[in-house]
Structures are given as structure tokens and as C-alpha cells.
Amino acid sequence: MISKSIKNLQQIKKSVTYHKNNINFTSTKFFDSMNILLAVDGVLPALKYGGTQRVIYDLGKALTESGHKVTMLCTKGSTCSFGDVIYLNPGLCPEQQVPEHIDIVHFNNYVPSREWTRPYIVTYHGNGIPKELVVPNSVFVSKNHALRHGCDSYVYNGLDWNNYGTANLNRARNGFHFLGKAAWRVKNVSGAIKMTRRIPGETLEVLGGQRFNLKMGVRFTFSPRVHFHGMVDNDDKEKYITRSKGLIFPVTWHEPFGLCMTESLYFGAPVFGTPYGSLPELIIPDVGCLTNNSSEMIEFLKDAGRFDPVKCHEYAADNFNSQVMAKEYLKRYEKVLSGQQLISQYSEYDSSDYRHKIWL
């Protein structure tokens, strides 16, 4: 889903153009040390839920460690240990709050007006982006995410794994877990619960949801084998996921990325999900199984012990860390500052419903 800042996109969509000449490229050299502004609607750092905020904060830290100067433009109440903070003024557009010394702005879920001519990129973290808002310097968070919006520009999300501590990969594993905002129907926590209840003796730890939830249409889960823990922090994730045999993630939409998958893998838990969105490109055979058939999913879950927690951990730690992400974004920043655009070609835009109802 798209953050509330997407409302700003709707307000200015008529003024967006698609020409790279829209940006005033004042320099064509590559910067050894750039002044980068990261703009995100939300409080930083995110301690519990806040996927976009968590990713952007970790990106800023990694960019700073690479020798660049980072300024955060974010919601009042934010703090930052490695860079300057400017609080978003709700009475002004974000682009009106960018200091003169900034070399490039990295907006998130927001497109500046056509009158704004300084170098920038836009990362979209959610689904359903209107076609007219996909600007030449857009970035999506997976290949599938980009292709579904008619583009070829993407950077995988990464996290600073130092915030998660050392993963204990030697613990005995019993039961499964669900991680995500369970109130969102497309995350399909009900599917995860049904799968667990069909396997005698198995349990499910729901991280990110409550047993009683009006938003889910008065959902009340009676099973004593399903335990709800509400929103959890990194310590809670380590506590439950390092004891889990795997993440059950039967999403019924095209997942843009899925931080819950990389977090689970980091703690040594394989992923059992549906083949939608980013899942087929992120979940390789060594770290999980994908199917939209519930009977087949149950068989996969029964054989969860065949996955090696060390391989799962190394896969996430090596490929989805904030340093890898920062290197990829630096390539995009330099490309924009050299006068090029990020999207090399537009293809047919998939305007169909991005939600799937296939769960057999």
C-alpha cells in the first residue's frame, strides 16, 4: 500500500511532465562527496512498524559511512545520529524546504512540481502508482514492481543488520511465524492461520497483529495454537524468529518487496509464500518455497526442516544489506547528476488490479 504522502502526488499529478530537460543539471561531474537530502513522510528512526522509514534511515547511515553528507527531511519528532534533520512543514511542499547546498534530493512516494528544476530521484515503495506520476527518474523496489509500472528502474531494499544483533542460528526451531501488518487483508494472515491449523500440533506466532481485529471484519481467532504479539521491535523479532521453522507469507497481492522476508531469512527462517510480486525473484530454492495451492503449501511446511538456517542468514545478510543498497542508489544519483535519466524505456503499464484472489 502507498503511504499517506501519496496524497501529495494526486494534488500535483496534472503538473508532472516526462522530459528529462525538466531538470536543471548544473554539473556533469561525479561527486566524491555529495550533499544528499532524503525526504520521507514519517518519524525516524522507526522502532517497530515503518518499513519505508526503516529503509531510508538505514540508507542515510550507509551513505554517510561512504563519505557523503546526508540531511533528513522528515516528520517532527525525528532524530538522526549521523546527519542533519529538517522537520517537514505541512504548510509547504517538500521541495520548498530543500536547502541550497543540496546536490540531489531523494524523494520517497512524492513527486515535486514541474517548476522545480533541481536534480532528484523518486522511490516508490507501494503499489498502484498512477501512470502519469511515473517520472523519468523513478525507482521501484524490485524488478517485478518496476515492470508492473511499465519501467525498468529498481533498487532492492536493504537493512542495517547491525541493528538486529547477532542471529542465533543454533536454536531448536518449533512452529512457524507470520510477520507483517496483519490488518491488511492482502497480507493474508488468515491464510497463514488456516495452514497452521491444518497441521496437527503446529503453532503460529503472529508478529504484527492482534487476536481481535475490527479492521479485518471482526476477526477473532480462537485457536490456542495461534499466538498474537502485536507490533514488535528488533529484539522481539530475534526472540521469536530464531525459534521459528519458517515464515508463512501467503500474500494475495503483488508484494512490492517484503522486508518481512529478508528479516526472517536473516534470523535463519525460510520463507513459505505465494508466487506473487517480488517473491519469485527474491525467494530462491535454497531459502524457501512458493505456491498458491494450500495443499502443496502444507507439504512444504511439513518439510521445513530441510532448509539450512545458515544459508538463509547468509543470503539475506549478503544481498539485502544497507551498504549494497547505498551503492546502488549512489549509481543512480551520479547518473542523474550527469544529465541522464534512470528509466531507459517505458513498456505497457499494467493497469489491472494488483490484488490476487488465487488461494486454492
Using CA atoms, how far apart are residues 211 and 213, in angstroms rounded to an integer?
6
User: What pLDDT digit, counting tens, does each position of 242-286 carry?
Assistant: 999 999 999 999 999 999 999 999 999 999 999 999 999 999 999
pLDDT confidence bin for 130, thresholds 50/70/90? confident
The pLDDT assigned to 43 comes to 95
Q: Is the pLDDT of residue 55 over 60?
A: yes
Centre a 10 Å sphere on the Cβ of residue 191 and count the other Cβ atoms it contains: 20
Fold exhibited by the domain 6-160+324-337: Rossmann fold (3.40.50)
What's the whole-number average pLDDT of the chain? 87
For residues 300-325, average pLDDT: 98
For residues 318-344, average pLDDT: 96
User: Element (H or E) spanning 311, and its range?
Assistant: helix 309-319
For residues 84-104, average pLDDT: 97
Beta-sheet pairing, 35-39 with 69-74? parallel
CATH number for 161-319: choose from 3.50.50.60, 3.30.470.10, 1.10.3720.10, 3.40.50.2000: 3.40.50.2000
In the sheet that holds 176-179, the strands lie side by side as 226-228, 204-207, 176-179, 247-249, 271-273, 288-290
User: What pLDDT digit, counting tens, does each position of 16-47 carry?
Assistant: 333 333 444 444 344 689 999 999 999 999 98
SS3 236: helix
Domain ranges of the chain: 6-160+324-337, 161-319
